[in-house]
Amino acid sequence: MTEAFELGDITICLTRKRVKNVHLTVHPPDGRVTLVAPPATRTEVARAYAVSRLRWIRQQQQRFREQQREQPRQFVTRESHHVWGRRYLMNIIEIDAKPHVMLDHRQIRLFVRPGADQTKRAETIHEWHKTLLHAELPRVISKWERTLSVKVNGYYLQRMKTKWGSCNHTAGNIRLNTELVKKPRDLLEYVVVHEMLHLLEPTHNGRFIELLEQHWPQWREARAELNALPLAG
């Protein structure tokens, strides 16, 4: 059951689930606020809890507003792009052949047919991003399946505006944001570990935090670094 209530100019989305404790979250990049509470929690109790955390909510929203954002990409020569945390300059090369991408130590060379528009160039880069992620993820997932004694039945890649990943613990699947290809590889691994831990504990409760502390002790630093990096425009 989901409902919403207002605290001044802030909307709180309240969801009741089978959890032991109340969990308040401010989501990047837009500062959306959610509150998950046990099924029997009255709305006025949830509201009182949110009021007690109002200063923290505003601080988090302000941090997201101040966070650097990428300018919309034009996919033109000399434009700056990031791959695995490193900055590259794009070089557009027109050829009468299937579009493809090559990466060297300084450039992303995007080969496209003459007259290819911005949409087609963006699609080619996005498919290349997925190829890079597919090359990394099986190794990372296999490593942590052994460590955590869990099984990932499948993973999916897609553009996401408000989260880096998600987990369907019932189906045993994880979903990852294709924007992760722009971040350092260790942050991709952190997100994978975070989502795989949800196969052991679906909610962000105390047990989940204990699991994070055990398997990725630097998780707070990783989360801060991930959210401090430029967001997609």
Cis peptide before 29 (omega within 30 of 0): yes
The model's pTM is: 0.72
Instruction: Classify strands 173-177 and 154-158 as parallel, antiparallel or unpaired.
Output: parallel
Dihedral of alpha carbons 38, 217, 85, 98, sign? negative
The three-state DSSP-derived secondary structure of 30-99 is CCEEEEEECCCCCHHHHHHHHHHCHHHHHHHHHHHHHCCECCCCCCCCCCEEEECCEEEEEEEEECCCCC
Question: Phi and psi of 6, rounded to 5°?
Answer: -105, 140
Q: Which domains does the chain have, with CATH numbers?
A: 2-66 (no CATH), 117-228 (3.30.2010.10)
Question: Phi and psi of 45, rounded to 5°?
Answer: -70, -45
Per-residue model confidence as pLDDT tens for the chain (233 residues) = 679 999 988 999 999 988 888 889 988 767 889 999 999 999 999 999 999 999 999 988 887 776 655 667 899 999 999 999 899 999 999 999 999 999 988 899 999 999 999 999 999 999 999 999 999 999 999 999 999 999 999 999 998 877 899 999 999 999 999 999 999 999 999 999 999 999 999 988 889 999 999 999 999 888 888 876 555 54
CA 55 to chain centre: 25
